[in-house]
Amino acid sequence: MFDTFASPFSHRYGSEAMRALWSERHKRLLWRRVWVALAEAQAELGIISADQAADLRAHMQDVDARSIARALELEREIHHDLMAELRVFAEQCPLGGSVLHLGATSMDIEDNAEALRLREALALLRQRVHVLMRCLAEQVLHHADRVCMAFTHLQPAEPTTVGYRLAQTLQDLMTDEAQLRELQRTLRGKGFKGAVGTAASYAELGDAAAMEQRALQKLGLEAFAVATQTYPRKQEWLVLNALASLAQTLYKFAFDLRVLQSPPIGEWREPFGAKQIGSSAMPFKRNPILAERINSLARFLAALPRVAWDNAAHSLLERTLDDSANRRALLPEAFLAAEEITLLATRVVCELHVDERNLVRTFEAYAPFAATERVLVAAVKAGADRQAIHARLRELALRAWDAVAQSGHNPLIELICADPEVTRYLAPEIIRALMNASTYVGDAPERARVLARQTLAYLGAAEDA
């Protein structure tokens, strides 16, 4: 392993469970599962004997390092990976080997197996997403009332709460999870339709439709009504889009986190180990490597749907083979990247540190600006000219901006309370009450709590299902 190239997805990114789904052994086990389902359907229809089908089932799990090595040796000779595995399987089955793959073409086996594997991978990824959603919902509830400054255009805007900000990510995650769930539910295989999708070879053996229906029922799989040599590659494009959508959600969250944990703001912070090293040159560095890794892998994943798009668009007439090589990397790496991003985000969210001191510091520096809108409305209600008061508040705010830039202290409340043009309509004590910006968050806390509780209820129902 250390003397040749190894993909980082083979050891660094993703879980052993996800890697196992995309392993050579699991692929070959799925191929054999499809072969056996076809054979058993043919036995039930009297095309082959029950003993032949039973022999194939008896050896269906006989995939190990030795058998894979034998298949790879054959592949180097015949240059066809599925035929190589077919020969190895047939060699193991003295009775059933002679009828293995009867009527089938390679993609009858591979595309049905791929649909099964995609469904398994989606199920595992959804489990990871559920853990993240639960942790995020709990953080939303915990921080629902914690006031902070909102930023638009990366400039201080008006108050919001930490929980409400987190709820934006949770809401997007719920959308992503719904897409993954629907794809998992509706994934379809090619079925058993032969070389160009007409099922002509199966019709020569008997009732092609009955054969397909029985085999698919054994696999627990539905098939596309029509197919060419493959199932429509559009299906994989849809899957890649859903994975990229998940990556998009977590990319934004991670990028926001990188902004908020920069020392000038310092409101949020990702976990940092006691022995963790931030820089080989600068001992003091506390770099946001988890958030950066999420962004890096998400950027990679975002580019992959285009490959799936080309695979679908360029599958000319009844099939071309120019999708085969890239799909060997495209599908597993997309799922491993999506899983790694989700696992990283889960760690960040569960161990997220919110620095109350810096929340207050930022809030006290900029929140008074947001409260001027309340003063404006109250003054106009008290009889002031809206345009005149707006102009005066703007002049005072610009003076306060200069003070914040110089010292970090915002004198805006004092400036307004001492200004005769404003106090002509509002008493200083009323102005101070109006400029208590911590109450200027609308119904954001309750909206955040409602979303979090809906999420937890959905996850509870999903676990019980």
Residues annotated as part of the active site: 153, 279
How would you label 75-95 residue by residue, b for 16+ Cβ within 10 Å and e otherwise? beeeeebbebbbbbbbebbee
The values of phi and psi at residue 277, to 5°, are -105, 125
- Residue 384 identity: A
Beta carbons within 8 Å of 315's beta carbon, 6+ residues apart: 228, 230, 233, 323
- Listed as own residue / partner, the contacts of 327-333 with beta carbons closer than 8 Å and 24 or more positions apart are 327/236, 329/7, 330/236, 330/240, 330/304, 331/22, 331/114, 331/118, 331/236, 332/9, 332/19, 332/22, 333/7, 333/9, 333/304
114/331 Cα distance (integer angstroms): 10
Beta carbons within 8 Å of 422's beta carbon, 6+ residues apart: 375, 379, 389, 392, 393, 416, 431
Cα 88 to chain centroid, rounded: 38
Task: Quote the strand ranges of 243-345, DSSP E.
Answer: 268-269
Residue 297: both structure tokens together: 């892998």
Burial class (CB in 10 A: 0-12, 13-18, 19+), 379: buried
- Rounded (10°) angle between helices 24-44 and 106-142: 120
Residue 459: other Cβ atoms inside 10 A: 17
Cβ proximity of 438 and 367 under 8 Å: yes
Residue 9: both structure tokens together: 């997805």
Task: Quote the strand ranges of 221-378, DSSP E.
Answer: 222-223, 268-269, 353-354
Give strand pairing partners of 149.
Answer: 159
- Rounded (10°) angle between helices 106-142 and 234-260: 30
Cα 368 to chain centroid, rounded: 38
